[in-house]
A and B are shown apart, each in its own frame.
Chain A
């Protein structure tokens, strides 16, 4: 097992190399760092001096090699527009995105599987048709539109939830968490007033973000469950007199999990991507908002940093998914 894990982790290397090289080349041929850093100011000499300083007059691959050399030592350079180290920018924003994605993922898994199972058990009933139609709608609506729609109903018309942000302005000022893991901190220190405010702010973005993934997981669960339920061993279990609940959850669902878990793993990538737009709509101070600002400003180091982070997370998520196969199907062993 450890050998397998080690080999899979090695896969990170070619993936990261490929992606960073691609991003690097795209920026090299389409944008001018001096334009980004100096904006409208700076005479021709100042631009030239900056070019020298940043080493922009060297051949492309030399610049790339220099970037790689620094990167493996942990120095991802400084953001061109914010002038702060990329690694600290991302590290600061990352907890916000993590908390949002975790909640969204939790909704996806719990709600998605539950709905899928119910639909599979009650196939072709009204419940089934309604849940699958709602799922289709949730899949089709762009996250951005869904977000604005939710806000206009729940915040503006009904006033139940705040419009956006992580916390109310006044509360945020007195909260003073040691890290940016607001929710975790409030939960573990029992600060209920803050927790309530944080929860009311995270509800909409998490639901919106998980909309499409929940729908997909629900549909996938339904499909695989329907296949599994028709199997002989399910008939045997029922014949043995086991309760419906044990049959469905212990036997049927467990066997159906492998394709479902695969889909959930793939959805992780979708969540990271959707987080970009959801965060933008809800002014969530996470990596998504950072990325959009970075791309708009053509801030190469920051974009590279985010790309590396996302690629790494994606590879790790897929590895985790593959490892859970062994849990669900004891026949699978990793050499």
Chain B
């Protein structure tokens, strides 16, 4: 061979030998004798799990969650086939076409009421295109959910819901997985900010040392500034500064307190008629008075609105039959059915805030860009996709909660990591929408606020057909997934493992009201022995 080729050949030969040697050195096969089975060999259990490939507030690792479950169940010898689809196709496949034996999904609450979680998922009326994708239909549970919906007695509602959860856990309808945390960060000069579980942004107590201007950086711009036209969080954040609703949430949870209303509503015995007294002397930013006519206008406007323009109208006011302005300061709302969660709807930042009839009539189509409410801040300008500027309302009615800054600017910074850079540098005073990867940096460079979100991530079983129409099989699967370990591994500190079917603060609220112990009605805990026992009993092989 030529001189230059010989070393190359030698090198190749050496590499080949090394590879063969390594291959040969693998572990020697087990040579124990396998006993002859006397019964027919147990089958391996396998099923299809539908997953989505988009970041959601309740699941920031996309389809890795499905892989996590796959790994957990593989330990018990179960084979999980994952079918991961982009969000729109995923909804189409699971909700419309009904594909898959089990599916991953989640939910962010709307109005802070337990009904918004449990009824939405587990009442049989929500099957076939609604959120009850497990197609769970149990008459007793249906009746309990309706009973809880129809009484305004908070204690009674809590008691019923806790018992519902007990049944759901016994029926193993879901594996409740986790609750994602909400994060905000602000500079050291800022004080008075807090995270509300519903995402409601209350800036009345915010101060910034050294200046009277507060800049809030967020990942997207508002879609509109009129509460009737919006359905997203970014739009709601701004609406919540300009407008107010009849009721509001307590700062630490979703208990309802009066805001523009004067006291809690008087509810008739049949639960359908709400008589609400309004606070007197409150003016809109355009000088027109806030009164019963304004409330009537706000609600009726949404009852006649088109769904593609007013996406939350039906959810918020669908139960309303009529609204009457009994006097200047008293409004009577009559519902079609006695739906207790309606009160919670009246506290939302979407759809429920009261608008100035004069302004809406004046601006017509452009109402979404010329907002007029009763809130602590007045709209000044909107440079689309860049920023929205609000100014302090000097005539804000609530003397105990006057806004402390002169100007609020909502600035758009699309890139998540850059938002963190901006708050660390001080170019903005506060941000939200912090991705788990940026949490550490935000905590080190700024003041990080953290709270469990009003959301839940879960795996649901298709309970209406094989294989998971078998309760014991479902119970087995639930007990074979170590939720705590999996959530810790996937999300670190940015999510809390779920034990029940509602966010922890709601669960605690109910337990306090009903006088029950913690985690009443919790889903079956991780118990691999029990799980494998059930599997074997059902004729499946286990590891």
Contact = CB atoms under 8 A, between A and B. Distances in A.
Interface of A: 30-32, 35-44, 46, 50, 81-83, 92-93, 148, 151-152, 155-156, 159, 162-167, 169-170, 172-173, 280-281, 283, 285, 289-290, 293, 298
Interface stretch (B20-28, B236-244, B337-345, B411-419): B411-419
Contacts of B414: 280-281, 283, 289
A164 B415 contact: yes
B413 A156 contact: no
Contacts of B131: 40
A159 B425 contact: yes
Interface string B412-446: 11110110011011011000000000000000000
B88 A35 contact: yes
A50 B411 contact: no
Contacts of A43: 129-130
A280 B417 CA distance: 12
Contacts of A173: 380-381, 387, 389, 409
Contact of B386 (A81, A166, A290): A166
Contact of A152 (B129, B307, B380, B421): B421
Contacts of B412: 165, 283, 285
Contacts of B130: 43
Nearest to B389: A173
B307 A46 contact: yes
A155 B215 CA distance: 18
B319 to A, nearest CB: 14
A260 to B, nearest CB: 34
B418 A164 contact: yes
Given A283-B415, A285-B383, A50 B128 contact: no
B328 interface: no
14 contacts: A35-B91, A41-B312, A42-B311, A83-B229, A93-B385, A156-B425, A163-B413, A163-B425, A164-B415, A165-B413, A169-B387, A169-B389, A280-B415, A283-B418
A173 B409 CA distance: 9
A167 B376 CA distance: 26
Nearest to A170: B213
Interface string B87-119: 011011000000000000000000000000000
B384 interface: yes
B308 interface: yes
Contacts of B308: 37-38, 50, 83
A166 B414 CA distance: 13
B231 interface: yes
Nearest to B221: A285
Chain B interface size, as a band, is 35 or more
B411 A170 contact: no
A151 B311 contact: no
Contacts of B529: none
A163 B427 contact: yes
Given A32-B88, A36-B88, 7 more contacts: A46-B307, A83-B229, A83-B309, A93-B385, A148-B418, A163-B425, A164-B418
B314 interface: yes
A38 B387 contact: no
A289 B223 CA distance: 14
Contact of B307 (A35, A50, A162, A167): A50
Nearest to A166: B386
Contacts of A82: 223
Contacts of A32: 88, 92
B315 interface: yes
Nearest to A144: B415
A109 to B, nearest CB: 29
A285 to B, nearest CB: 4
A42 B231 CA distance: 13
A169 B411 contact: yes
* Best-surrounded residue of A39, A46, A169, A293 (most CB of chain B within 10 A): A169
A192 B409 CA distance: 24
Contact of A41 (B307, B386, B418): B307
Contact of B409 (A37, A164, A170, A289): A170
B198 to A, nearest CB: 17
Contact of B384 (A31, A92, A148, A156): A92
Nearest to B311: A41
A285 B384 contact: yes
Given A41-B315, A93-B385, A163-B418, A155 B309 contact: no
Contacts of A283: 385-386, 412-415, 418
A73 to B, nearest CB: 21
Contacts of A281: 414-415, 418
Given A155-B421, A170-B409, A290 B427 contact: no
A217 B517 CA distance: 72
Nearest to A49: B307
Contacts of B424: 156
A332 B385 CA distance: 46
Contacts of B428: 169
Contacts of B415: 148, 164, 280-281, 283
Given A38-B307, A44-B128, A83-B309, A151 B387 contact: no
A92 B386 CA distance: 12
Nearest to B91: A35
A38 B413 contact: no
A155 B427 CA distance: 10
A149 B213 CA distance: 30
A83 B220 CA distance: 16
A162 B383 contact: no
Contacts of A285: 383-386, 412
B250 to A, nearest CB: 27
B487 to A, nearest CB: 24
* Best-surrounded residue of B91, B229, B308, B386 (most CB of chain A within 10 A): B308
Interface string B308-351: 11011011000000000000000000000000000000000000
B421 A156 contact: yes
Contacts of B425: 155-156, 159, 163
Contacts of B411: 165, 169
A282 to B, nearest CB: 8
A205 to B, nearest CB: 12
Given A151-B421, A155-B425, A169-B387, A39 B231 contact: yes
B128 A163 contact: no
Closest 4 CB pairs of A and B: A285-B385, A169-B409, A173-B389, A283-B414
Contacts of B421: 151-152, 155-156, 163
Contacts of B129: 43-44
A162 B215 CA distance: 14
B418 A81 contact: no
B421 to A, nearest CB: 5
Given A41-B312, A148-B417, A163-B427, A289 B92 contact: no
